[in-house]
Amino acid sequence: MVKVAGQTGSIFIIFPWKGTLILEKYNNTGTKVYRNSLKGMDGIAGFEIITEDELWLSAHKNGVSDMVSFRLSSGKVQPVTDDPYDQGAFEVVQDSLLVFRSGYPLTVSGRDTFERPYGLYASPVLQERRGYRAGDDPVLLVADSMWLKADVTGITPEGALVIAHTGSGSLQKDTFRLEALDGRLSLKEGTSVRKTEFLRERKYRDSLGKAIREADKDYKNEFGNIFGTNLGQQDTAREVFLPGKEENYRIRLYKAYFNAGINNAYFINKYQPYKAYGGTYKVPELGAMFTGGVADIFEDHHLNFGFRLPVGNNGSDFYTLYRNLTRRTDWELMYFRKVEQTSLDRDAYWTDERGMPYPTSVRIRTDYLGLGFHYPLNLHWRLSANLAIRKDKLIFLSTDRYSLPFAPVHELWNINSLKLKGAQVRYSAPLTRTGWSLEASADGMVSGMRKESSIVYALQLDAQHYLKLSEAVRVETAFRAGFSRGRNGMVLYNFGGVNGNLAPLRDEDRIFPQDAPYIMQTLVTPFRGYPQNSMYGSAYTLLNLDIYVPLFRTLIPVHTGFSFIRNFQLGVWSDAAHTWRQEHVLSPAPDFLYSYGLSARTILAGYPIRIDMALGRGQPVWYLSLDLPAQ
């Protein structure tokens, strides 16, 4: 909406932006001099310029519409009208008369409520200590309805109103002089909506006798009924919104729930330092994570937190996240702390500076501070950047006299990521989708506590396509690729297993030496049929093909309220991967493997769960996993 101030030529513009109404003001040369968000307003039907510092708006909030005054200098909003009726487009006439469209919504039976029929109303503009407001008993000028609407389109030089309507079947304009309103406008004080007075009046207002009296009440029409029988509409005693019904505001928490996972989708778990973890990628444990947040403080400021309940004494995870959504570029600040206990491989023979083999029982403490930015290019594409500092501390547990002299091993990393992500996916039912998604990322890692600094970069591509062959057959394909190089090291891509695995499998015979040219490691999933460490390298390609049949939605239609049965799907799958490596210090491993098998998936207790069975290698290999979305 655009309005121009008549005397100064200032331009006022109100437009929606990312779910918020924005007000901008430009001077007569086109220079922007003001910008602010109209917080708390769901929408507006129109606005008028009162002064250079004050606007009147017909605003909607919480299903109620009122005219409000907004001051640019202070950002304060004051009500001009404060009643349960709808307030639509309006005009301020001669700085003392407010003409506006008002009424109360129709009921399901198509009748107006007893409170107020729709039409154009006139009310005086009253000045009070805190500002302006409208009178409390406006005069009905022209009655209309929800379907046939009358609008004030202008004012003649003589001060008469020009009202446009379609009461005769075609658009016509009528002119009405304001002298007919003399003595008809009320100047009495408004009805109080304080709780005590509201409750005192409630019995009277909601009584059946009141409803009958209001239903029989005639509304005086100063200029005639241009829509025939509209004034004769029967009113209904319907509950209306009044501010007195509102309770005191209380800060609320997000609904607390248990989320079964920390999974590989968390950026802190995407990479692990090679030396701090003894050359073996440790699959993050899946455990109950208590998550929550504070809502309703600010619309564009979110504060989340999470804590994984520890199982035994193996460690815990904690994070807190602040997200700012005030502008098109969203940004977030996250602190993540992870403590986990693991065991180093005895056969790897990793040593300290004295040449003494490391003890096997260790605890790893990780502090991660990340700053992220997200910029939406359009409805389907988004550009993201992440800047992070990661500090790892390898602590040798003092379980015996041998482990006492070992000092902790410290590693400090700067990890930066740039990601382009696009998606156009439609869900016809849970786990049943069509469309595509694409994610391309470039990661750079710089060490900060080594004698010789290391710089590593990694490029990764993740493309997925979801195809509907028929109502009973769905095909899902995924192609993933990665490549890394750097100074003094690379990224080790390890294969084997599925994401969200409840019981990870690992090949213990693979030995990763301490002098291998790797400084970071990650696990590429899904690659079913083989345990972790089956194949690895500094570059890879991975192809996944899954074919699913929604069993009880298509082949055997079953109408049931149990989501476990309704969303059950059976499928077949095949995986194939190829790796490249130039390092000869690693244990021999194949550079190409493939697998195939059967799969079943469904929704259990609100979580997507799946079972995979790999065939063709003697005994079947089973996987039970939670197919959790990216965090």
Domain-by-domain residue ranges, the chain? Answer: 2-245, 253-626
How far is Cα 529 from Cα 533, in angstroms, rounded to an integer?
Answer: 12
Answer whether CATH 2.40.10.170 is correct for domain 253-626.
no
267: number of Cβ within 10 Å: 21
pLDDT for the residue numbered 554: 82
pLDDT for the residue numbered 232: 38
How far is Cα 415 from Cα 522, in angstroms, rounded to an integer?
Answer: 14
pLDDT for the residue numbered 211: 52
State the pTM of this model: 0.60
Q: What values do phi and psi take at 197, rounded to 5?
A: -70, -35
3-state secondary structure 262-329: CCCCCHHHHCEECCCCCCCCCCCCCCEEEEEEEEEEECCEEEEEEEECCCCCCEEEEEEEEEECCCCC
Average confidence (pLDDT) per 10 residues, the chain, 631 residues:
84 86 88 85 82 84 75 82 73 74 58 59 68 67 63 68 67 66 45 45 52 51 42 40 44 40 55 87 73 64 76 72 88 91 81 87 91 92 94 87 87 94 88 93 84 85 94 94 91 90 83 87 92 92 96 82 88 96 77 95 86 88 78 47
Residue with structure tokens 């129109």? 46
How far is Cα 281 from Cα 274, in angstroms, rounded to an integer?
Answer: 8
The sheet that has 2-4: what strands, in order across it?
Answer: 2-4, 11-17, 20-26, 32-37
pLDDT for the residue numbered 216: 52
**Are 600 and 564 a contacting pair, CB within 8 Å?**
no
Give residues with Cβ within 8 angstroms of 493, minimum separation 6.
482, 484, 521, 522, 524, 536, 537, 538, 539, 540, 579
Strand partners, 520: 273, 491
Tokens of residue 344, six digits: 């180093």
Answer whether CATH 2.120.10 is correct for domain 2-245.
yes
pLDDT for the residue numbered 541: 97
How far is Cα 433 from Cα 427, in angstroms, rounded to an integer?
Answer: 4
Tokens of residue 475, six digits: 């095909």
